[in-house]
Amino acid sequence: MDPVQALRRTAFLLERERASSYRVQAFRGAAAVLLALDPDEFDARLAAGTLTDLKGIGKSSAEVVTQAAAGRTPDRLAALEEAAGPLVEGGQELRAQLRGDLHAHTDASDGGSPLAEMAFTAAELGHEYLAVTDHSEGLKVANGLTRERRERQLAQIAALAAPLAPFRLLSGIEVDIDRDGTLDCPPDLLARLDVVVASVHSALRMPRAAMTRRLLTAIGSGRVDVLGHCTGRMVAGGHGRVGPGGRPPSEFDADAVFAACVEFDVAVEINARPERLDPPRALLRQAVEAGCLFTLSTDAHAPGQLDWQPYGCARAQECGVPAERVVTTWPAEQVLEWTRRRRPAPA
């Protein structure tokens, strides 16, 4: 086994099982060090047992490298592989039909890994496409992208198209829905993106009527493709910023909001992050009855989290979500045809 691949796989499986980011980074950081190392120096240090003299390679990661270089699966990796069973019971049929993920973050905003690492991991998982949806500028706590940084990311996405083909890396955004329902991104920039996920991240406890107006304004803007984690709830602490007790869901008129989603052809996101699992089951069933489209996405902030789709699949199947109404079961061209209905034709 290639030592770099062994380190990356170890980090991936640790993320998948929700290990601490410190443990994960120990292996992913070591992989980056090896990639930058001259092959002759690597061979010399491997023979001399001095890999740990390099900054970023500790005892555990050096052991993985040494065992992989000797031609065997490292002990730590073998244990992780053995323990890596199904994340949750149910949902296997829907998971087999998924083709991609339309909500993921990189280290450009509040994710933990570079764009290329997220994209190549998605391809390795068998995805056909991934939308990179880093936060909009106003969400300072999540290091939202300015226009200049967004432009740089668009150039990076374009540069990765050929190396990733036939996998498709889609440009996107998780745009913040402001208190009055306006979107935190200029319309001309939104028009250039493949996928627009709109979410509420502030004033989550505002009165029910006001929250309903807020969501209806965003949905009716004609610029939103996906309503992200619609209640904003946390069933447990997430991203290190919410306590173990979680956060209750926002309150809004679900009949009105889901009817608007149907009217404006906006999908309701089934957010598969285990600390979110949004919307709750009752609302998910209500959205099914309303006739909504859905996306099933991970909201991944690290490569290993891209494999969290089963958490959402189990809930979707339990709540009777029809697979044909899950946008992420569609091929990339069909997804883009759907989102382009909201984009002005090029001048």
> Domain containing 22 — which CATH number?
1.10.150.110
What is the pLDDT confidence band of residue 237, given thresholds at 50, 70 and 90? low
More confident residue, 242 or 81: 81
Domain boundary among 49, 82, 115: 82
pLDDT at 245: 61
291 located within any domain: yes
- 242: pLDDT strictly greater than 50: no
Backbone angles phi, psi at 98, to 5 degrees: -70, 140
**Hey, CA dihedral for 246, 232, 98, 2, is it positive or negative?**
negative
In a domain, 331, yes or no: yes
Percent of the chain with pLDDT over 90: 91
Q: What's the pLDDT tens digit per position in 18-49?
A: 988 888 999 999 999 999 999 999 999 999 99
Q: Name, in order, each residue with C-beta under 8 angstroms of 307's C-beta and a sequence gap of 6 or more.
A: 12, 16, 87, 125, 298
d(CA 96, CA 85) in angstroms, rounded, equals 16
- Residue 296 and residue 322 in contact, taking contact as beta carbons nearer than 8 Å: no
pLDDT of 239 > 80? The answer is: no
* Confidence grade of residue 293 (pLDDT, cut at 50, 70, 90): very high
Q: What DSSP assignment string belongs to 262-304?
A: HHTTPEEEEE--TTT-BS-HHHHHHHHHHT--EEEE--BSSGG
Specify the residue for token string 């980090």.
11
Kindly report the number of other CB atoms within 10 A of residue 205's CB atom. 10
Does 276 share its domain with 155?
yes
Residue that terminates a domain, selected from 55, 82, 109: 82
**Is pLDDT above 80 for 55?**
yes
pLDDT at 109 over 90: yes
Same-domain check for residues 158 and 63: no
In-domain check, residue 175 = yes
In a domain, 345, yes or no: no
* Residue 347 domain-assigned (yes or no): no
pLDDT tens digits for range 110-147: 998 999 999 999 999 999 999 999 999 999 999 999 99
**What is the arithmetic mean of pLDDT over 186-211?**
96
d(CA 48, CA 42): 10
Q: Is residue 202 situated within a structural domain?
A: yes
C-alpha–C-alpha distance, residues 120 and 132, integer Å:
12
Tell me how many domains the chain contains.
2
Query: 87 lies in a domain?
Result: no
Residue 26 lies in a domain: yes
Through-space distance between the first and last CA atoms of the chain, rounded to whole angstroms: 51
DSSP lists the bridge partners of residue 295 as 269
Q: Which of 97-111, 172-186, 239-253 has the lowest mean pLDDT?
A: 239-253
Range list of H helices, the chain: 3-16, 21-35, 39-48, 59-69, 75-83, 92-97, 115-124, 147-164, 187-190, 208-219, 254-263, 281-290, 309-318, 332-340
The answer on 192 and 162 residing in a single domain is yes
- 144 and 166 Cβ atoms separated by less than 8 Å: no
pLDDT on residue 236: 76
Across all residues in the chain, what is the average pLDDT?
A: 94
Amino acid at the residue 342: R
Are 66 and 97 in the same domain?
A: no
Give the residue from 82, 104, 123 where a domain finishes.
82
What integer pLDDT is reported at residue 238 of this predicted model? Answer: 52
Domain span including residue 118: 92-340
**Does residue 179 share a domain with residue 58?**
no
Query: What average pLDDT score do residues 69-92 get?
Result: 95
Backbone angles phi, psi at 58, to 5 degrees: -100, -170
137-175 residue pLDDT tens: 999 999 999 999 999 999 999 999 999 999 999 999 999
Average pLDDT over residues 237-264: 81
Assess whether pLDDT exceeds 90 at residue 259: yes
Q: Does residue 254 have a pLDDT over 60?
A: yes
Checking if the pLDDT of 274 tops 80, the result is: yes
Is it the case that residue 343 has pLDDT exceeding 90?
no
Co-location of 33 and 107 in the same domain:
no
**pLDDT above 80: residue 240:** no
The answer to whether residues 22 and 161 belong to one domain is no
How large is the average pLDDT for residues 104-112?
94
87-104: average pLDDT: 96
Does the pLDDT of residue 340 top 70, yes or no?
yes
- CA neighbor of 54 nearest in space, from 21, 44, 113, 9: 44
- Asked if pLDDT for residue 81 goes beyond 60, the answer is yes
CA dist 127 → 101, 107, 120, 123, 188 (Å):
8, 21, 10, 5, 29
Measured between alpha carbons, how far is residue 347 from residues 156, 191, 221, 337 in Å?
A: 24, 12, 21, 18
Confidence band for 275, pLDDT divided at 50, 70 and 90: very high
